[in-house]
């Protein structure tokens, strides 16, 4: 294999939580496969803090100025989702490869400003405009769906290869007790609630696995044909409000905190996905594959590789235990390397290798588009109370 680029120059658009994940995961590749060239954030303060933390030499508050640099080959887009579409097109037009944090795009208006059908149509226009800009400029879109790269899912792919079994039923979940980010409370800034914000992960995982199965067996991905979904804001219900004390986030404005969906694929097989903000006990990233000849259970979080017990939360002091756990007391599932278990370093290693070699990444443009297509079709299903067939948006 001949590398097209000896080293990838990376620019970061965004300087907070997701950008930190990208930078940490890329850090082992610095110096020999990639370099951190610049960071852009809305405020000078945020950009300077990120630059100091990760030793990034150049700082911007205007992403277009950063994109003009010849020494940047790829940009990590890890900012608020409402800007993904705009910045991705600008990056593609500048000839920069894209590492896109999930989801690809969304519809950012008040929840009652338009029907979910109109939202779906808008989202697909935006997604297709991003993909068209990438194709027009020979730019690769790397879709940062870490579930695809989690060690358990990677092992599942190898087990599928060896067993030869058909994936009949996939069940996946991401749930926790609620986002602390202010943007997540409103449809206008988040593009949806738990189904989009968290459901992108399990939806992406099950779609990826059927893409993979179809490509291996038939030379083309198996894609989602239809979806039935339901959503609700459970923390707004009288049964919840009647409780004097609760431990989950409750300040949602017009987005759901609970969602469930059943997807039917082209080959008639099924996947069930849940994503909620009303689940205590830390993040749950779970996937079960029922094959024609086997069953595989993947517990990304929590997993039992390291279990702790303390009668008081203060015993562990400032030591990190796991994401979004409400207390450090009692039994805990603390991953020795949470980022590795969730697939972040493997994800970025694949992206950098793909860009240097001129190949498609394992998680790319088709998955990015299919995820938002399925989720917004699910929102239509939930609003209209019917099964929605994909491929019907003109």
According to DSSP, residue 381 is labeled H
Instruction: Sketch out the chain's domains with CATH numbers.
Output: 8-146 (3.40.50.720), 150-344+376-389 (3.30.360.10)
**pLDDT confidence of residue 4:** 60
Burial of 227 (0-12, 13-18, 19+ CB in 10 A): buried
> 44-54 and 17-26 are packed helices; what angle lies between their axes, rounded to 10 degrees?
20
Closest to 144 in 3D by CA, of 79, 89, 91, 49: 79
Distance CA 180, CA 208 (A): 28
Residue 164 C-alpha from the chain's centroid: 28
**pLDDT confidence of residue 70:** 97
CB 262 within 8 A of CB 228: yes
Distance CA 101, CA 164 (A): 32
Question: In sequence order, which residues have a C-beta less than 8 Å from that of residue 124 and are 6 or more positions away?
Answer: 369, 372, 373, 376, 393
Question: In sequence order, which residues have a C-beta less than 8 Å from that of residue 152 and are 6 or more positions away?
Answer: 287, 298, 299, 300, 341
Strands 224-232 and 97-101, by their bridges, are unpaired
**pLDDT confidence of residue 394:** 60
**pLDDT confidence of residue 160:** 97
Positions in the chain whose pLDDT score sits under 70: 1-5, 393-394
At which residue do the structure tokens 């399925």 appear?
Answer: 374
Sign of the alpha-carbon torsion through 302, 306, 312, 314: negative
Predicted confidence (pLDDT) per residue in 205-243, tens digit: 999 999 999 999 999 999 999 999 999 999 999 999 998
| Residue 39: HSE in the Cβ half-sphere, 13 Å Cα cutoff | 27
**pLDDT confidence of residue 109:** 97
CB 272 within 8 A of CB 262: yes
**pLDDT confidence of residue 244:** 86
**pLDDT confidence of residue 105:** 98
């Amino acid at each position: 294999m001949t590398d097209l680029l000896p080293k990838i120059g990376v620019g970061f658009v965004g300087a907070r939580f997701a950008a930190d994940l990208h930078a940490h995961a890329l850090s082992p590749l610095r110096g020999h496969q990639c370099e951190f060239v610049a960071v852009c954030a809305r405020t000078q303060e945020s950009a300077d803090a990120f630059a100091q933390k990760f030793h990034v030499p150049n700082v911007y508050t205007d992403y277009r100025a950063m994109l003009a640099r010849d020494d940047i080959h790829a940009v990590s887009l890890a900012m608020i989702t409402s800007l993904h579409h705009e910045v991705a097109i600008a990056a593609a037009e500048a000839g920069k490869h894209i590492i896109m944090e999930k989801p690809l795009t969304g519809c950012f208006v008040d929840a009652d400003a338009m029907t979910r059908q109109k939202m779906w149509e808008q989202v697909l226009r935006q997604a297709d405009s991003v993909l068209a800009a990438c194709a027009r400029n020979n730019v690769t879109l790397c879709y940062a769906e870490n579930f695809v790269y989690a060690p358990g899912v990677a092992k599942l792919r190898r087990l599928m290869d060896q067993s030869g079994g058909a994936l009949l039923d996939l069940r996946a979940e991401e749930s926790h007790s609620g986002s602390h980010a202010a943007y997540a409370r409103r449809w206008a800034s988040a593009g949806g609630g738990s189904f989009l914000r968290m459901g992108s992960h399990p939806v992406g995982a099950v779609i990826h696995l059927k893409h993979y199965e179809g490509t291996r067996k038939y030379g083309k991905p198996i894609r989602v044909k239809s979806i039935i979904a339901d959503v609700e804001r459970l923390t707004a219900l009288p049964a919840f409000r009647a409780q004097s004390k609760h431990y989950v986030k409750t300040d949602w404005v017009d987005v759901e905190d609970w969602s469930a969906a059943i997807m039917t694929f082209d080959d008639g097989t099924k996947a069930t996905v849940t994503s909620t903000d009303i689940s205590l006990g830390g993040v749950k990233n779970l996937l079960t594959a029922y094959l024609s000849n086997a069953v595989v259970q993947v517990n990304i979080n929590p997993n039992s590789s390291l279990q702790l017990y303390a009668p008081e939360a203060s015993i562990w002091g400032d030591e990190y235990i796991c994401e979004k756990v409400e207390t450090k007391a009692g039994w805990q599932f603390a991953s020795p390397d949470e980022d590795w278990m969730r697939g972040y370093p493997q994800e970025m290693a694949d992206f950098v290798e793909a860009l240097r070699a001129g190949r498609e990444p394992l998680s790319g443009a088709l998955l990015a588009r299919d995820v938002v297509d399925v989720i917004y079709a699910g929102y239509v299903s939930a609003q209209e109370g019917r099964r929605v067939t994909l491929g019907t948006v003109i």
